[in-house]
């Protein structure tokens, strides 16, 4: 075999192996994103189920402000349980899908924005809870006080859960950023060119 042919074979083999490694990285990033989503939804579903069961039982055995706390916990978490169920169904569908680089970038940006948006909503739930508690005290409404306390509990839990998830997804997204940083767009003699930096 000619020296040039040997060199060409070596380069092609190296590029093929590097390309395979990049595909494996992209697949692992997508798998981790889906695993994180699945874990988040299982935790949300478990929290919702526990609150519905405990809230329904306790609401029927208590009166006054405490009754309304448990009642709102049960009501609130029927929505959480529906969200968890629908989310798990979507994750299961996505697990069979292959994510290319563009797909990964789009999905990663979407999930990070979603959790940032959710933390804003969670803060709004907490502020609404504080308002209801204050208003309930002012007008002597046990229902407002109870619902306010429930919103503080639910909003606080969701805020912690969503912040943990955002942090985990951002860490996973940094691996994608590193993969993307290997690609460079630059000028060539014939115009623009896309190159991949081999490390």
pLDDT at residue 165, rounded to an integer? 96
pLDDT of 129 strictly over 80: yes
- Please, what is the average pLDDT of the chain? 83
Tell me whether residue 37 is in a domain.
yes
Pairing, β 191-196 against β 183-188? antiparallel
User: What is the mean pLDDT of the segment spanning 36-50?
Assistant: 97
Tell me whether residue 1 is in a domain.
no
DSSP sequence for 1-42: --HHHHHHHHHHHHHHHHHHHHHHHHHHHHHHHHHHHHHHHH
- Give the number of domains in the chain: 1
% of the chain residues with pLDDT over 90: 61
Q: Encode pLDDT of 146-184 as tens digits.
A: 999 999 999 999 999 999 999 999 998 887 666 655 545
pLDDT of 83 strictly over 60: yes
Question: Domain limits at 95?
Answer: 25-180
Tell me whether residue 187 is in a domain.
no
Tell me whether residue 6 is in a domain.
no
Tell me whether residue 13 is in a domain.
no
Tell me whether residue 197 is in a domain.
no
Rounded CA-CA distance 172/107 in Å is 12
């Amino acid at each position: 075999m000619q020296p040039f042919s040997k060199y060409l074979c070596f380069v092609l083999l190296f590029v093929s192996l590097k390309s395979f490694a990049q595909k494996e990285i992209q697949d692992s990033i997508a798998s981790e994103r889906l695993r994180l989503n699945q874990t988040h939804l299982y935790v949300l579903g478990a929290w919702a189920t526990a609150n519905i069961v405990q809230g329904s039982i306790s609401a029927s055995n208590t009166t006054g402000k405490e009754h309304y706390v448990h009642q709102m916990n049960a009501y609130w978490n029927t929505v959480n349980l529906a969200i968890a169920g629908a989310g798990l169904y979507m994750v299961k569908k996505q697990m069979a899908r292959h994510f290319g680089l563009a797909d990964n970038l789009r999905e990663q940006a979407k999930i990070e924005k979603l959790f940032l948006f959710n933390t804003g909503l969670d803060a709004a739930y907490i502020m609404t809870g504080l308002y209801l508690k204050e208003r309930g005290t002012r007008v002597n409404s046990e229902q407002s006080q109870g619902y306010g306390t429930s919103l503080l509990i639910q909003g606080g839990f969701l805020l912690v859960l969503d912040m943990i998830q955002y942090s985990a997804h951002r860490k996973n997204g940094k691996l994608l950023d590193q993969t993307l940083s290997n690609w460079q767009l630059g000028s060539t003699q014939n115009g623009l060119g896309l190159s991949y930096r081999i490390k």
